Chains A and B, each alone.
Chain A
Amino acid sequence: MHEVKMNRKKDKGFESPRPFKLTHQVVCINNINFQRKSVIGFVELTIFPTVVNLNRIKLNSKQCRIYRVRVNDLEAPFIYNDPTLEVCHHESKQRNLNYFSSAYTAAVSAVDPDAGHGELVIKVPSELWKQGDEMNVLKVYIEFSLDQPKGGLHFVVPDVEGSMAERGAHVFSFGYQNSTRFWFPCVDSYSELCTWKLEFTVDASMVAVSCGDLVETVYTHDMRKKTFHYVLPIPTAASNISLSVGPFEILVDPYMHEVTHFCLPQLLPLLKHSMSYLHEIFEFYEEILTCRYPYSCFKTVFVDEAYVQVSSYASMSIFSTNLLHSAMIIDQTPLTRQCLAQALAQQFFGCFISRMSWADEWVLKGISGYIYGLYLKKTFGVNQYRHWIKEELDKMVEYELKMGGVLLHPTFGGGKDKDNPTPHLHFSIKHPHTLSWKYYKMFQCKAHLVMRLIENRISMEFMLQVFNKLLSLASTASSQKYQSHMWSQMLVSTHSFLKSISNVSGKDIGPLIKQWVDQSAVVKFFGSFAFNRKRNVLELEIRQDYTSSGTQKYVGPIKVTVQELDGSFNHTLQIEENSLKHDIPCHSKSRRNKKKKIPLMNGEEVDMDLSAMDADSPLLWIRIDPDMSILRKVEFEQADFMWQYQLRYERDVVAQEESILALEKFPTPASRLALTDILEQDQCFYKVRQGACFCLAKIANSMMSTWTGPPAMKSLFTRMFCCKSCPNIVKTNTFISFQSYFLQKTMPVAMAQLRDIQNLCPKDVLNFILDLIKYNDNRKNKFSDNYYRAELIDALTNSLTPAISISNEVRTVDNLNGDVRLILEEITRSLNMEKLLPSYRNTITVSCLRAIRMLQKNGHIPSDPSLFKSYAEYGHFVDVRVAALEAVVDYTRVDRSSVELQWLLNMVQNDPAHYIRHKILSMLGKNPPFTKAAESPLCNEALVDQLWKLMNSGTSHDWRLRCDAVNLYYTLFGLTRPSCLPLPELGLVLNLKEKKAVLNPTIKPEQGPDTTEMTGITMGVHIPVMGFTSSLDEGLITMETVSSVSMSSGVAPPPQGLKRKLDSVVGPLGSSSPEPGQVLQEEDTSKKFKIRFNTVEEDEIDMESPHDSQAFIHHHLNILERPSTPGKEPPAVDQAVLSLPVTPLPSSFGKESTSSSKHSGDHHHHHHHHEHKKKKKKKHKHKHKHKHESKDKERDSHAFSNSPASGRSVRSPSMSD
């Protein structure tokens, strides 16, 4: 806790980073032109200077054209500079991601409103700052326009006849985190609150929906337009302001007249149905929070081409129109309700209560996610809730184990001690805008899970009291005048939240916070046990893996539940440093023959058939951490019969799901029986039963040779869903019972996974599915069967197996396999019928496209992307497009098609729908055409340049997209210089060499115990060595800028550029080497180094004490901390040290990069000349390996994170007075 407190010292009160305080802002948009997609307006900010002589005002503004700025009616000069437009300047040939990430972070920091920066710098006229000591109010008036905005505002203008209103044209604001600056100048920070007046003049046929209360609507004088006047008296951050304009249909909520819903023309009936339960969500939140909804009104707007499904702003939320559904639709209903509940939870925490800084984001996301969970529990039941928690936990754990930890509360100690708390990531978590989207999703996930842990610790009652306290403080503050200085109470911080918890509950949750909030990573347990009959004791062993990436060590209590014959018992064990074994005394004296009911945890008493169990042991099953009160993954070993008992008799759905997963490994008749019983039990939670279907299919496949009876699930399905008189015909659909409905949907899909001895889907099963399709009859059903039919198509897809054929045979109609022909006929018919009678959300088209891709992939029909490309075009329903794009992405990978990759990347740049662009990149990242680990003809210089350009400047209008591009780049090329780039020029060698001469004397004395990275410099020689090994690519330029920094500290970060190239040359050797992100055991590397450097003359390097040197490096880095210009020479770093310009000599060694003779000749240290001519490649390998090891440490990322921010961007635009 002490440490925790230390960390948050600065959190105590809110200190604005700005020399002024914003109190009120007017936004007036007088003209919105749908034809030209342009907007004209002005803003007026009322600010109070908090310093004397306020001479410049920094505001945020992106892509706005600013016509004039006036401060108190005096024209004011201004400078507009947005360093994020182009992160690395184009003269740079730098192509490594480390470099980019740090430059990008620096660029974002340079305009970060939370640090008081901004793109727009206004010089206050000198007349005004002379009177500054009186602290007068300043009114900053800015006229601006937007022309075809690429971000911030999205215009949807369908290309049909008629007026804009008839066409359903609309526009709405969007963005990821604080993105309001894209559409009007403001202080785009969640911590700068002010009151608002918003005016929008729109066509008379349109409605403008925005935040706050609609005070009046007035026609313009020509009566052709009207102006909507909104007032938002509650202090609100600009980032929470939004707008949407369109010919919306209006629905006043019948239960709550202050709530208004808006949808696009013709969708009103759907809107009515979809919104009919919103009031329940309102009631729920108001009740648990014992607090009224903070705003006087609420608006929901449903728009097309939404950026995300749900986005919340002050007193309004913007949703995707695709959430609307009619009463006939089953599957979408819970999803839509969940989206509404999320939106509403964020109204309280996120919009009304805002955050102090980005580091406090987790509190808001955590609370809103947590109360949303409570809503789920109440509406969808405890089973659904626990299932959801497990799902979220698994998802998050999987991510952290794969990618390294997710850190909820990053502390950046002023850049001093911890520059990068997450060195394992390829992006910075310092700003929301540099985060990978997936990471942010997992971040939200973890946040609400941690809230749940806090609840476990302090009880729900206290938890809700804390929320209530935050809300009531905020609502008191919100009604005060600015002068009361109370508005900051509407901002939540980690500190204030924790203080509130401690005040309310009196409990110390410090360790919990330290473990899960201040620290990233999760816990990985392995459990096994033995029963000691003599002592009647259960000997439980719980081990942990805390060395792999994304894991941490857990010390503390853990709950273990043991189900014995005599009942269920909870034990709390203490996980300590060195104790693995825990003895748990058993209550039951082994097994008795007496027939007696067995009491379960929930008090229920059941009869069990105990014949399966071990006669000597009273244990039925054991569960570790059953309440999921640790963020962990548990791998527990117990006998198959124990899993079966657990599946049958444990009432917790999480336990049931765990046992289903475990039973996959036990393909026995007993498992089969247990699963079948669960399938038949209609009291069992439907998702468990769905899981059981898939497990049963897997088991059946493993038991293939001993399986008796009809194919798994067939007779069950027949009994449940087919007619009594004719068992091959399915009953006409009614879908009255949703549980059965979901089961009916799932079973065929699972059955289609069955395989016979030839590894084909059994004929029986295929015919059965075809019959289901044939006899499907929905005429008497009040629900739509579109999802069911789609899943039947999915079942057909699942039944496909690779075609047997002679290689390179052209796929023709004639040699189509008979079964496949039947399948294809169904698919063709369904897909064609969709054109005539489209299904809801075109689910069937989506399934058909997937099926066709599967047919192609399995070699039944010719592989061809053109069909998918036509479905992927703009103008199809978004789900269809995504499915088609997924197929194209898959095709690109399988067929290594550069044409399709280009086509996809074009779409990323040009598609009107932001969601689609994002989706393409994330699908490419998930299913990459190639990866850094493998060679591919697609991997070429042009592609590197293209992607580089995309993330460097092509995506500056959309933070999310830029981060997606970064992710893709990372997946394809890794952190270092892509291997496909030609070896760069060697100009640097000379530099380094000469520098060495200069540096050596200076450095030598400083050489402390060095790190692996220090190899280069520790012995003067090493600079050239290093330069040599890296063979001086452009990568080195950074490296070099860094090294110029670090050299003075005696550290040369290992170059990385070459690694991949050489990897590919080296082959197995290279591929076995760890990726940079991985943490190596320091000892290992250093040993390697020792070996390596024995070939070098001056060895005697002490590699064993890396930590000190780390600190040392940091120390020096911080001394030197300053931005440098990427691609240009680093700005005067210690001139004394760096006597020569570091710019690489242009191509002095040009193409000779591959033949290393020249530079090795220059360095003549350890490489054997005679080898050169014979085996250049080998040579490379050798050298490379050398360098490569040193680089694995990658500690240089520290260095990088400091260096390359563009000078222009980091320093505020040069108004150097």
Chain B
Amino acid sequence: MADPAVMAGGFSAVVGRSGGGKATSSPAENYQLARRRTLQVVVSSLLTECGFESAEKAAVESLTEMIQSYISEVGRCAKAYCEHTARITPTLSDTVVTLIEMGFNVNTLPVYAKRSQRMVITAPPVTNAPVIPKALIAGQKRTHPSHIPSHFPEFPDPHTYIKTPTFREPVSDYQVVREKAASQRRDVERALTRFMAKTGETQSLFKDDITAFPLIAARPSSIPYLSALLPSELELQTLEETDSSEQDDQTDSENTLYFLNYDDPGADKENSMLPPGGVVPSVKASEENMIDNPYLRPVKKPKVRRKK
């Protein structure tokens, strides 16, 4: 009764209806249409039972909708109650609790069921239950280990959790590698610049088609020398990479004075991390004694002597 399919059916029935009664329909839709039709019959028979002789189609539709909602809600709630108690199939008591919760007097139900003038409704036409499309089979579906009770939900489809490493013979042909690297870089660059051009201001070389060969607009900067002189982060990265590999032979050949060799790289790092505008020599506080340079000397406090 409170089958999830009902809810789904209700939903898709609504969808199907709004779709404008298509002639062709899938098996799942057929199944749901059949159920809906049964509900309409039920509503009609109830109306007849109540003494109506005719009803407008719209009224029947509304009532059908109401009854469907009601049943759906009963089903949903019953399901919720059952899951709340860690089961997967609702029992009678779940349904009863649900009905009570919805303000229905359960005790009247047996009487109502046994009323005399009730009409018997034929079973809905047999339609095939909708086939759930099979998920991709990937690997073996796992069963529960022994310590997990069987009423617990099953493992989801294996494709959701297993990993399948894919191997392809690595391309070793130098030419292809270079070719690939080159076209990849070019594609990335092109895409990136196109994106930048699309999202920002552009300049064009042609008057007839301003979208052909868009140029990112030149924008003046307030301190143009910084970007022009400082290596970009990318370049710095490469430099670090190549440096670390070649540092050894470099230090040997280039810096003959090992005193400098000693403190230079360190100082370099310190300085590169300095905030802009930071005064460097203070970093080498320890060396200040060695280096006597007037610019490193501390600034004097104003003397007591006043200017005349």
Find chain A residues with CB under 8 A from B214 CB.
Answer: 828
- Please measure, in the bound complex, the distance between the C-alpha atom of A852 and the C-alpha atom of B218, giving whole angstroms: 14
Check if B293 sits within 8 Å of A252, measured CB to CB: yes
**Which residues in window 205-219 of A have CB below 8 A to B?**
205, 207, 213-219
- Please measure, in the bound complex, the distance between the C-alpha atom of A1061 and the C-alpha atom of B228, giving whole angstroms: 49
Interface size class of chain B, counting residues whose CB lies under 8 Å from the partner chain: 35 or more
**Which residues in window 224-272 of B have CB below 8 A to A?**
224-232, 234-235, 238-239, 242-243, 246, 257, 260, 264, 268, 271-272
Check if A841 sits within 8 Å of B224, measured CB to CB: no
| Closest chain B CB from A510 CB (angstroms) | 48
**Which residues in window 829-869 of A have CB below 8 A to B?**
829, 831-833, 835-838, 840-842, 852, 855, 861-862, 864, 866-867
Q: Is residue A19 within 8 Å, beta carbon to beta carbon, of the partner chain?
A: no
| Closest chain B CB from A1111 CB (angstroms) | 58
Check if B203 sits within 8 Å of A867, measured CB to CB: yes
Check if B274 sits within 8 Å of A214, measured CB to CB: no
- Please measure, in the bound complex, the distance between the C-alpha atom of A266 and the C-alpha atom of B295, giving whole angstroms: 19
**Which residues in window 202-232 of B have CB below 8 A to A?**
203, 205-209, 212-218, 220-232
Q: Is residue A258 within 8 Å, beta carbon to beta carbon, of the partner chain?
A: yes
Check if A829 sits within 8 Å of B189, measured CB to CB: yes
- Please measure, in the bound complex, the distance between the C-alpha atom of A27 and the C-alpha atom of B261, giving whole angstroms: 42
Q: Is residue B34 within 8 Å, beta carbon to beta carbon, of the partner chain?
A: no
Find chain A residues with CB under 8 A from B246 CB.
Answer: 782
- Please measure, in the bound complex, the distance between the C-alpha atom of A832 and the C-alpha atom of B280, giving whole angstroms: 36
Q: Is residue A498 within 8 Å, beta carbon to beta carbon, of the partner chain?
A: no
With contacts A219-B299, A268-B271, A782-B238 taken as known, whether A159 is within 8 angstroms of B193 at the C-beta atoms is no
Partner of B205, one of A159, A168, A824, A837: A824
Find chain B residues with CB under 8 A from A782 CB.
Answer: 238-239, 242-243, 246
- Please measure, in the bound complex, the distance between the C-alpha atom of A541 and the C-alpha atom of B30, giving whole angstroms: 113
Check if A867 sits within 8 Å of B205, measured CB to CB: yes
Find chain A residues with CB under 8 A from B281 CB.
Answer: 250, 252
Q: Is residue B8 within 8 Å, beta carbon to beta carbon, of the partner chain?
A: no
Partner of B225, one of A254, A304, A832: A304
Partner of B196, one of A167, A251, A781, A835: A835
With contacts A250-B295, A838-B232 taken as known, whether A272 is within 8 angstroms of B271 at the C-beta atoms is yes
Interface segment, one of A547-555, A602-610, A772-780: A772-780
Check if A832 sits within 8 Å of B175, measured CB to CB: no
Find chain A residues with CB under 8 A from B229 CB.
Answer: 267, 270, 321-322, 324-325, 840-841
The 8 nearest A-B residue pairs measured at CB: A875-B220, A832-B193, A214-B294, A782-B242, A877-B228, A726-B175, A158-B222, A813-B212
Interface segment, one of B40-48, B109-117, B136-144, B300-308: B300-308
**Which residues in window 706-738 of A have CB below 8 A to B?**
723, 725-726, 729
Check if A862 sits within 8 Å of B192, measured CB to CB: no
Find chain A residues with CB under 8 A from B264 CB.
Answer: 254
| Closest chain A CB from B207 CB (angstroms) | 6
Q: Is residue B102 within 8 Å, beta carbon to beta carbon, of the partner chain?
A: no
Q: Is residue B277 within 8 Å, beta carbon to beta carbon, of the partner chain?
A: yes
Q: Is residue A326 within 8 Å, beta carbon to beta carbon, of the partner chain?
A: yes
- Please measure, in the bound complex, the distance between the C-alpha atom of A268 and the C-alpha atom of B226, giving whole angstroms: 11
Q: Is residue A812 within 8 Å, beta carbon to beta carbon, of the partner chain?
A: yes
| Closest chain B CB from A210 CB (angstroms) | 12
Check if B268 sits within 8 Å of A812, measured CB to CB: no
Find chain A residues with CB under 8 A from B175 CB.
Answer: 723, 725-726, 729
Find chain A residues with CB under 8 A from B208 CB.
Answer: 810, 812-814
Check if A862 sits within 8 Å of B205, measured CB to CB: yes
Find chain B residues with CB under 8 A from A812 CB.
Answer: 206, 208-209
Q: Is residue B178 within 8 Å, beta carbon to beta carbon, of the partner chain?
A: yes
**Which residues in window 159-197 of B have CB below 8 A to A?**
174-175, 178-179, 181-183, 186, 189-190, 192-193, 196-197
Check if B231 sits within 8 Å of A218, measured CB to CB: no
Nearest opposing residue in chain B for A260, CB measure: B295
Nearest opposing residue in chain B for A785, CB measure: B235
Find chain A residues with CB under 8 A from B224 CB.
Answer: 875-878
| Closest chain A CB from B251 CB (angstroms) | 13
Check if A216 sits within 8 Å of B295, measured CB to CB: no
Q: Is residue A873 within 8 Å, beta carbon to beta carbon, of the partner chain?
A: yes
- Please measure, in the bound complex, the distance between the C-alpha atom of A782 and the C-alpha atom of B237, giving whole angstroms: 10
Q: Is residue A382 within 8 Å, beta carbon to beta carbon, of the partner chain?
A: no
Check if A266 sits within 8 Å of B230, measured CB to CB: yes
- Please measure, in the bound complex, the distance between the C-alpha atom of A874 and the C-alpha atom of B225, giving whole angstroms: 12
Find chain A residues with CB under 8 A from B294 CB.
Answer: 213-217, 297
With contacts A213-B294, A833-B193 taken as known, whether A779 is within 8 angstroms of B238 at the C-beta atoms is yes
- Please measure, in the bound complex, the distance between the C-alpha atom of A220 and the C-alpha atom of B235, giving whole angstroms: 44
| Closest chain A CB from B148 CB (angstroms) | 52
**Which residues in window 264-294 of A have CB below 8 A to B?**
264-270, 272
Find chain A residues with CB under 8 A from B218 CB.
Answer: 867, 870-871, 873, 876
Check if B302 sits within 8 Å of A218, measured CB to CB: yes
Find chain B residues with CB under 8 A from A185 CB.
Answer: none
- Please measure, in the bound complex, the distance between the C-alpha atom of A554 and the C-alpha atom of B238, giving whole angstroms: 58
Contact with B along A873-895 (1 / 0, CB 8 A): 11111110000000000000000
- Please measure, in the bound complex, the distance between the C-alpha atom of A597 and the C-alpha atom of B193, giving whole angstroms: 62
- Please measure, in the bound complex, the distance between the C-alpha atom of A501 and the C-alpha atom of B197, giving whole angstroms: 67
With contacts A158-B222, A836-B196 taken as known, whether A861 is within 8 angstroms of B280 at the C-beta atoms is no
Check if B276 sits within 8 Å of A828, measured CB to CB: no
Check if A867 sits within 8 Å of B215, measured CB to CB: yes
Check if A784 sits within 8 Å of B299, measured CB to CB: no
With contacts A220-B302, A775-B178, A811-B206 taken as known, whether A257 is within 8 angstroms of B292 at the C-beta atoms is yes
Q: Is residue B28 within 8 Å, beta carbon to beta carbon, of the partner chain?
A: no
- Please measure, in the bound complex, the distance between the C-alpha atom of A1040 and the C-alpha atom of B180, giving whole angstroms: 80
Q: Is residue A175 within 8 Å, beta carbon to beta carbon, of the partner chain?
A: no
Find chain B residues with CB under 8 A from A811 CB.
Answer: 206
- Please measure, in the bound complex, the distance between the C-alpha atom of A242 and the C-alpha atom of B212, giving whole angstroms: 52
Check if B206 sits within 8 Å of A833, measured CB to CB: no
Q: Is residue B7 within 8 Å, beta carbon to beta carbon, of the partner chain?
A: no
Contact with B along A219-259 (1 / 0, CB 8 A): 11101001000000000000000000001011110110110
A-B contact pairs, 30 of them (CB 8 A): A159-B222, A205-B277, A207-B295, A215-B294, A218-B303, A247-B277, A250-B280, A254-B260, A260-B295, A265-B276, A326-B230, A328-B231, A723-B174, A729-B179, A774-B183, A777-B182, A782-B242, A782-B243, A810-B207, A813-B208, A832-B216, A835-B216, A836-B192, A837-B234, A840-B228, A841-B228, A841-B229, A855-B205, A870-B217, A877-B228
- Please measure, in the bound complex, the distance between the C-alpha atom of A250 and the C-alpha atom of B293, giving whole angstroms: 11
Check if B226 sits within 8 Å of A214, measured CB to CB: no
Find chain B residues with CB under 8 A from A158 CB.
Answer: 222-223
| Closest chain A CB from B219 CB (angstroms) | 8
Check if A873 sits within 8 Å of B220, measured CB to CB: yes
